[in-house]
Amino acid sequence: MPYWVDFEAGHVELDPELMKLELSRRVTIRVDRYRLTSERLTLRRTARGVEIDGEGRVAFCPCENAPLSFGFQRAVVAPPTDLFVRNATLRLGDVPVFWTPILWLRSPDRLGLLPPRLAWRGDDGLLVGTGVHVPLGGRRGATLSAADVSVAGYLEGGVEVDTRLTTPTTSTRVRWDHLDRSLLAVDAHGSSASRGGAVGAFRIDALRGERGLSATLDLEPAARRFDHARASVGAAGAGVVGSLGAALGSERGAAIDARAAVGPVASLGFGDALGRTGSMDAFVEASSVKERGLPAESLLAHHALLDASTNAGPLFLGVRLDEHAVFAGNDAATRGSAFVGARAQASLPLARAFGGGLDPLVHRVEPLLDVGVRAAASRGDEVPRSSALEAAPPGRLALAALGVDSALGRFGAREALEVEARAGGVGDLDGALEPAAAARLALDSEWVGAAGESAARPDSERTLHAAGRLRVGRADGLHVESHATGSLDEEPVAARTLLVDHFDGTVRPFLDGSGWSAGSRLGVPWTRQIATVFATEADVTRARWLAWRVALAYRHPCGCFAVLGRTGQRVGRDGLDAEVTLDLMP
C-alpha cells in the first residue's frame, strides 16, 4: 500500500494476486487532509490510484464528527492528493443538502474546480456559477502563485467573469460583469525587488462601464471620484532615490473605452543628514499627461526642505524651511504656483515615570510655542496639481500659536493616550490674525481605541471640522466601532495648519462640502468558530442611510473549511444583495 494512504478497520482481508483489500467494521481511511469512513469498503490498486468501492463518507479533516462531509458510493484516491467521488451528497451533520454525480477534490497546488457560487444581486436577480483554480508555481502556503477564474450567469441572461491572480508579491483582481450594460473593475497592486537593489511597483484602481457604479456592491469603491493607475521602476543608493514609470487617471465610472489622461513620470529625490542637528531633503518629479483629443501637458513639481534642531538647556528648539513649486504648460499657456515658508518651534519636554519595572507608566507633557510665515504666488487661472504635490494657494500667510503635547501610557506595551492641542491665530501677513484652534487625539489600548482631529475658528460658530474613530472592546472579541466626519458651513483649512509642522501645500479640505456622515460596526464572536458583523453608514445631515451589511462567518476548529454568508444594501443599488461562500481549504 502506498505511504500516502493510512487505514484502520476491525476486520481486514487481503488478496495479493488481485491487489485487493477488503475492510469492514468501523473502517477509517486517511489520505492527506481527507478522512473516509464506512462500515465496509473494498480497496483495489489500479493504474489510476486506489479505487474504493462501498458506501461511506469523506470529510475534509482528520477529526471525528466533522460537520461538513460528502457521502459517496465509489471513490478513487489518486496521488498525490486527488480524490474523485461518485454520487456525492453534501451533508451538514446528517442532513443531505446537495447532490452531484461526481466530485473532484484537489489541494491548492493542483489544478481543480472551485466551489459553486450562489448569490442574489438585488434587482439583477440570482447569480449562479463556478470556476477553475490554476496553480502557477510554488507550493501550498505563502509561496503559492495561482489564478482563480470564476464564471457565473444571471438568470436574466447576463454573465460575470471574476479573475483573481495571486503571487507572493502581487495581487490582481479583474471583474467583468454584463447585464444589458457592462462593468469592468480592476484592483491590482504589487512590488518586487532585485538583488541589485532595483524595485518595481504598480497600483491599479479602476471602475469603468455603464454598470460600473450601480453594479459595485460596496459603498466605498463606488464613492471614489477617480480611477488611478501607476507603475514605476526605481533604485536607491547613497541618499539618492530615482524612479521612472507611467501614470493614468480618469473619471470614475466612465465608459470602458472613455479617454483617460496618461503619460510618463520620472522622479528624483535626495536626502542627507547635516551633522548631528539637521537634515535636508529635495524632490523633483516631471511628467507628461496626454488625453485623447486634447494637447499634451507637461508638469514639473519640486519640493525642498531644510530643518535643524537643538537643545538649549531644558528647551528643544527646531526650525524648518520649505520651498515648493508646481508648474504646468502646453502649447497654449503656462501656469504654476510656488511658495517659500519658514516654521520655528520652541518646546519644553517634561516626563515622569510612575512605578518601576521594565515598562513603567510614563507621563510626558510638552508645552510649546509655534510661529511661521509663508509667501506664495501663482500664475494662470487654474493652479496645477501633480501626482506628488498639491499646489499652494497664493498669498502671504502667518501663524502664531501656543500648544501642548501630552502622552500617558506604557509605551513598551503600546498602550497610551496622546493629545495635541493648539490655539492661536492664522491669517494674512499684512492683516490681523484670525483666531484658530485645533486638536488631535489618539488612544490605543486592548479594550479601547480612538483617533480624532478637530479644527475651528472660535470667532465663527459655523466654521468647524471634525473627524474621529472609536473602538470599545477587544479587536478580536466583542467590540463596537464607530466613526464620524464632517464640517459646518466652512471647513477651517487654515486652522488645521496648526497641527502640521510645514507649509508644503498638502493641507487642503477633506470634504467637498459641509455636512456630517457617520458609521458603526458591531463585531460579535459568538464562539471561537462563529462570528457576526453588523455595519452601517449614514448621512446624518440628510437623515438617510447610505449602506448596511450583515455577515456571518463559521470556521471549523481544525481549519478544514469555512463558510461566509453576507447580505446588505447600499444607496445607488436597487434591491438586496446576498451571497454565501464556501472555502474548503481556508
For residues 216 and 213, what is the distance between their CA atoms, to the nearest angstrom? Answer: 6
Query: What would you report as the CA-atom Rg of the chain, rounded to the nearest whole angstrom?
Result: 31
Q: Taking the mean position of all CA atoms in its chain, how far away is CA 58? A: 37
For residues 105 and 144, what is the distance between their CA atoms, to the nearest angstrom? Answer: 18
**What are phi and psi for residue 70, nearest 5 degrees?**
-120, 125
Alpha-carbon distances, residue 373 vs 58, 190, 207, 421, 550 (angstroms): 74, 41, 42, 20, 51
For residues 54 and 25, what is the distance between their CA atoms, to the nearest angstrom? Answer: 13
10 Å Cβ neighbour count for 57? 18
What one-character-per-residue DSSP string does 273-303 give? EETTTEEEEEEEEEEEEB-TTS--EEEEEEE
Q: Is the distance from CB of 176 to CB of 199 less than 8 angstroms?
A: no
**What are phi and psi for residue 260, nearest 5 degrees?**
-140, 150
**What are phi and psi for residue 182, nearest 5 degrees?**
-120, 155
Q: Is the distance from CB of 389 to CB of 344 less than 8 angstroms?
A: no
pLDDT at 382: 62
For residues 193 and 563, what is the distance between their CA atoms, to the nearest angstrom? Answer: 36
Question: pLDDT tens track of the chain, all 586 residues?
Answer: 444 567 788 888 887 777 788 888 888 887 777 788 888 888 888 877 788 888 888 887 777 777 778 888 888 887 666 778 888 888 877 888 888 887 777 777 788 888 888 899 999 999 999 899 998 887 666 678 899 999 999 998 999 999 999 999 999 999 999 999 999 999 999 999 888 889 999 999 999 999 999 999 999 999 998 999 999 999 988 889 999 999 999 999 999 988 888 999 999 999 999 888 899 999 999 998 888 777 888 888 888 999 999 999 999 999 999 888 888 888 777 888 888 889 999 999 999 999 878 889 999 999 999 999 888 887 776 655 555 555 566 678 888 999 999 999 998 888 999 999 999 988 887 778 889 899 999 999 999 999 999 988 887 766 788 899 999 999 889 999 999 998 887 666 777 778 876 664 445 556 667 889 999 999 999 998 899 999 999 999 999 999 999 999 998 887 777 889 999 999 999 899 999 888 776 5
Q: Is the distance from CB of 70 to CB of 83 less than 8 angstroms?
A: no
For residues 187 and 194, what is the distance between their CA atoms, to the nearest angstrom? Answer: 24
End-to-end Cα spacing for the chain: 30
**Which cell goes with 448?**
479601547
Alpha-carbon distances, residue 353 vs 101, 410, 411 (angstroms): 71, 10, 11
Q: Is the distance from CB of 422 to CB of 401 less than 8 angstroms?
A: yes
**Which cell goes with 571?**
444607496
**How much is the pTM?**
0.81
Q: Is the distance from CB of 58 to CB of 74 less than 8 angstroms?
A: no
Residue with cell 520649505: 322
Q: Is the distance from CB of 148 to CB of 114 less than 8 angstroms?
A: yes
Q: Which of 355, 370, 485 is nearest to 423 (CA)?
A: 370
pLDDT at 102: 78
In terms of C-beta density within 10 A (0-12 exposed, 13-18 middle, 19 or more buried), how is residue 152 classed? buried
In terms of C-beta density within 10 A (0-12 exposed, 13-18 middle, 19 or more buried), how is residue 52 classed? buried
Cβ neighbours of residue 202 under 8 Å, at least 6 residues apart? 188, 189, 190, 191, 229, 230, 231, 232
